Structure 1
Amino acid sequence: MSDFLRTLNSSLFKKLMMALTGTFMCTYLIVHVSGNMTLFAGDEGYSFNTYAHFMTHFPPVEVIAYLLYLTIIVHAAYALLLTILNRRARPVRYAVVSRSPASWPSKNMGLLGSILFLFIVIHMADFWYRYKYTEIAFREYRTDLLTGKREVSEYHPVSQKFQYAVTVEGNTEIVRTKDLYTIVAESFKSLWYVVFYLISVAVVSFHLLHGFQSAFQTMGLRHKKYTPIIKFTGTWLFAVIIPLGFASMPLVFYLKHLLE
């Protein structure tokens, strides 16, 4: 076996691939949660629907999105492969259990990752796939550019190929777009879906609590000056703030539904 193939087959390379794909997904999470905050704009879905169209139709973003999907698959595949190799290397558990202060997330990354992968598949099927490849309702937003007053109504396109349009008639801007906002709002009226979503968000938090710091260690970025910054970022931004941002969506929409 050549040195190149031996390197590709090494555990270090597999861990490095997981670290690189993991950090890329972390970057995407910042963009994703920021965009999803437009759900709370209070404009009957105008901001969120225009954001959704941009994210799914702007070519550079689409390229990054498909790269992300590939990254998720690669990350999951290498995680599974490393788990199998580790079990083969140690088929019998140690007689003496280690008392090292390893965190619960670090001991259960395989379980957390499996739940997270299932959530991603269901989440994408419910929102991304429905938005891109099925027929859903459209909304029309008429905004008076002088006063800022906006009127919202259903829109029924003549052509099935219609996706999005922005026109201006006099002082009125007219935006016609697919209505992903209503799909999200309707989905979060279901208690079981809200519970599943919140559990998945908790899994994201625990997964990132260990995974973010572990990725930088795998890439050799360990230094007494920078390690505390990495730990702080991994804990508070990726394991606390971002998950809370995602959790706020089902909670707000479900509570709003109960109060209607």
Structure 2
Amino acid sequence: MSTLLRKIVMAATGLFLCFFLLIHCLGNTQLFMEPEQARLSFNAYSHFLTGNPLVKLISYVLYTSIIGHAVYALLITAKNKTAGGIYKKDNRGRASKWYSRNMGVLGTVVLIFLVLHFQNFWYVYKFGEIGIDANGNKDLYTVVVTAFQQLWLVIIYVTAMIALCYHLIHGIASSVRTLGLFHPKFVRWVHAFGVAYSVLICGGFAAMPVFIYITNLNS
């Protein structure tokens, strides 16, 4: 597969993942509700995501996108380093942002975080033994709250969201350009949208474990 085609795959999967992040973040805002209401609402939401056939199909697209995005990112990064490309460490600090030159590092941090995230929640929900709430749904809410009462895990999540934020800021603009949707006339608007989207989404995700940790300090 050519480098251009790999970049197109990365761009397409990246933008799909951006859309997923928005939906996932909006769904997880239920964690900010009052505890009992949050438990029932969040657990019902989790049950819907795992039980709806259409959502299941979309989840397979999601998993494929994550794997494809990560694999092609590694291939492109390795090729660029060999050829002295854009992700190779150099002295071009005045010409490009540091996060643009370190997308491979940021992506690796995010990938490690995803493995931890799937292990803590997805795997436990699918294969672990967890309680049942008053509505008969698996009590994932309690699993989440218990996990985020550990300060070290909260710090890891917040750090990962900072890395994801910078990864998205560069990735959104780069994906738009790769897919041919970019026009120099709108460069500032594309960049502004990318920054706003990245900060809002990642800020929202980072606020969730912090909120849960703070509200459960005395429990």
TM bin, normalised by shorter chain, reads over 0.9
Once the two structures are TM-superposed, the CA of residue 108 in structure 1 deviates from its matched residue by 0.3
Question: What does residue 52 of structure 2 align with?
Answer: 58
Are 1:22 and 2:23 an aligned pair?
no
Q: Which amino acid aligns with 1:59?
A: P
Supply the distance in 2 between the matched residues of 1:250 and 1:79 (Cα, whole angstroms).
28
Q: Which amino acid aligns with 1:10?
A: S
Question: What does residue 68 of structure 1 align with?
Answer: 62
Question: What does residue 250 of structure 1 align with?
Answer: 209
Query: Unpaired runs of 5+ in structure 2?
Result: none
Q: Which amino acid aligns with 1:250?
A: P
- Residue 216 of structure 2 aligns to a residue in which SS? helix
Structure number with higher relative contact order (C-alpha < 8 Å, ≥ 6 residues apart):
2
Once the two structures are TM-superposed, the CA of residue 30 in structure 1 deviates from its matched residue by 0.4
Once the two structures are TM-superposed, the CA of residue 225 in structure 1 deviates from its matched residue by 4.7
1:47 corresponds to which of 41, 51, 56:
41
- Answer 1 or 2: which has greater strand percent: 1
Once the two structures are TM-superposed, the CA of residue 77 in structure 1 deviates from its matched residue by 0.4
Supply the distance in 1 between the matched residues of 2:204 and 2:5 (Cα, whole angstroms).
33
Question: What does residue 32 of structure 1 align with?
Answer: 24
- Residue 133 of structure 2 aligns to a residue in which SS? strand
Aligned residues: 214
Instruction: Write out aligned runs for 1:100-249 (5 A).
Output: 100-140=94-134, 175-237=135-197, 239-249=198-208
Any idea what the Cα deviations from partners look like across 1:195-221, whole Å, max 9, x if unmatched? Answer: 001000101101001111110011111
Change (3 A) 1:104 1:97: closer
Once the two structures are TM-superposed, the CA of residue 227 in structure 1 deviates from its matched residue by 3.3
Question: What does residue 84 of structure 2 align with?
Answer: 90
- Answer 1 or 2: which has greater helix percent: 2
Supply the distance in 2 between the matched residues of 1:213 and 1:246 (Cα, whole angstroms).
21
TM value normalised by structure 2? 0.92
Once the two structures are TM-superposed, the CA of residue 187 in structure 1 deviates from its matched residue by 0.3
- Residue 137 of structure 1 aligns to a residue in which SS? coil
Structure showing greater Rg = 1
Q: Which amino acid aligns with 2:31?
A: L
Change (3 A) 1:257 1:69: same
Supply the distance in 1 between the matched residues of 2:195 and 2:6 (Cα, whole angstroms).
24
Query: Unpaired runs of 5+ in structure 1?
Result: 1-8, 141-174
TM value normalised by structure 1? 0.78
Any idea what the Cα deviations from partners look like across 1:149-195, whole Å, max 9, x if unmatched? Answer: xxxxxxxxxxxxxxxxxxxxxxxxxx211000000000000010000
Supply the distance in 2 between the matched residues of 1:100 and 1:180 (Cα, whole angstroms).
47
Task: Please say if residues 30 and 38 of structure 2, whose CA atoms lie closer than 8 Å, have aligned partners that are also in contact.
Answer: no
Q: Which amino acid aligns with 2:24?
A: H
Instruction: Percent identity, please.
Output: 41
Any idea what the Cα deviations from partners look like across 1:4-58, whole Å, max 9, x if unmatched? Answer: xxxxx21111111110010000000000000000112211411100000001110
